């Protein structure tokens, strides 16, 4: 990646778009401090998260600021019940039992998955698993959420549940970076950034970017006319 620079404000939902291999996931790992602390690599410049330099901040501390949710929820879920998954992180912070229970209940309500509280994550649908993986991160109450192509393998109904959850988080002041290659999946974003070959080539308000038909086609970012007209009245 080279010369990538942008700011994201509190409560803003930003979509990061680009073809496979353009650097989207690399950027996510940098935001969470996984790069360079865990995976290594050479990093120039710097990333500030709530005033903290990711290069100087331990990953465990950054996890309280930035919550990362990846495409395959099975890599993040390992406990026998949804409740256990949501309680795991705050319990490891040694929070009081009452606080842990409050956080679990709050996350279940925000995501609309109270009915899954005692279910085994292994038995859930892909969309349900993704909501649980998101909930496990939310239980740490980070101010920033990074969703790395979490909707890619999901059916339309599951995608809607995730987008509804993201909108609910917006109402609670959370900042969300949604990484996708599917324009339909990020139609709720306030802003869109486009990466290509490791460079930021577009940063604009979602309706403006989605309205640039020639730009989207030129950079192989598909957009159905019907969806464009319906959602943005262009």
Give strand pairing partners of 2: none
Model confidence, pTM: 0.86
Two tokens at 128?
């349900």
Report DSSP state, residue 194.
Answer: E
- What is the SS3 assignment for 174? coil
Contacts of 84 (CB under 8 A, 6+ apart): none
More confident residue, 98 or 210: 98
Is residue 33's pLDDT more than 70?
A: yes
Model confidence pLDDT, tens digit, residues 49-59: 888 899 899 99
Contacts of 27 (CB under 8 A, 6+ apart): 1, 4, 16, 179, 195
Two tokens at 105?
């209940």
Give strand pairing partners of 52: 49
* CATH T-level topology, domain 13-74+143-232: Rossmann fold (3.40.50)
| Average pLDDT value for the chain | 88
Q: How much is the CA Rg of the chain, to the nearest whole Å?
A: 18
Looking at residues 132-143, what average pLDDT do you find? 94
Distance CA 127, CA 21 (A): 25
Looking at residues 155-175, what average pLDDT do you find? 86
Model confidence pLDDT, tens digit, residues 179-222: 987 787 787 899 999 999 999 999 999 999 988 989 988 988 86
Cβ pair 210, 232 in contact under 8 A: yes
Which helix or strand (DSSP H or E) is residue 90 part of?
A: helix 82-92
Is residue 8's pLDDT more than 70?
A: yes
Q: Would strands 175-180 and 13-17 be described as parallel, antiparallel, or unpaired?
A: parallel
Distance CA 166, CA 157 (A): 14
User: 117-121, 129-133, 224-228 — which is least confidently predicted?
Assistant: 224-228
Looking at residues 36-54, what average pLDDT do you find? 85
| 189: exposed, middle or buried (Cβ count in 10 Å: 0-12, 13-18, 19+) | buried
Contacts of 169 (CB under 8 A, 6+ apart): 110, 138, 145, 176
Provide the 10 A C-beta neighbour count for residue 27.
Answer: 24
pLDDT band at 46; cut points 50, 70, 90: confident
Distance CA 221, CA 151 (A): 16
Looking at residues 221-232, what average pLDDT do you find? 48
| 137: exposed, middle or buried (Cβ count in 10 Å: 0-12, 13-18, 19+) | buried
CA angle 202, 187, 54 (to 5 degrees): 55
170 φ/ψ sector (left φ>0, alpha ψ -120 to 50, else beta): alpha
Give strand pairing partners of 196: 199
């Amino acid at each position: 990646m080279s010369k990538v620079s942008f700011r994201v404000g509190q409560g803003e939902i930003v979509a990061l778009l680009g073809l496979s291999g353009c650097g989207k996931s690399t950027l996510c790992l940098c935001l969470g401090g996984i790069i360079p602390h865990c995976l290594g690599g050479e990093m120039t410049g710097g990333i500030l998260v709530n005033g903290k330099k990711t290069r100087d901040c331990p990953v465990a501390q950054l996890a309280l600021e930035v919550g990362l949710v990846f495409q395959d929820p099975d890599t993040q879920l390992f406990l026998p019940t949804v409740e256990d998954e949501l309680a795991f992180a705050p319990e490891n912070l040694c929070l009081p039992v009452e606080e842990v229970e409050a956080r679990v209940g709050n996350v279940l309500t925000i995501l609309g998955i109270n009915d899954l509280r005692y279910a085994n994550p292994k038995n859930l649908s892909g969309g349900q698993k993704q909501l649980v993986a998101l909930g496990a991160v939310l239980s740490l109450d980070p101010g920033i959420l990074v969703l790395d192509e979490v909707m890619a393998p999901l059916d339309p109904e599951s995608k809607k549940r995730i987008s509804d959850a993201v909108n609910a988080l917006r109402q609670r002041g959370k900042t969300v970076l949604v990484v996708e290659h599917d324009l339909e999946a990020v139609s709720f974003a306030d802003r869109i950034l486009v990466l290509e070959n490791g460079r930021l080539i577009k940063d604009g308000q979602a309706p403006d970017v989605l309205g640039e038909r020639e730009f989207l086609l030129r950079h192989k970012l598909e957009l159905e006319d019907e969806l464009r007209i319906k959602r943005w009245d262009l």
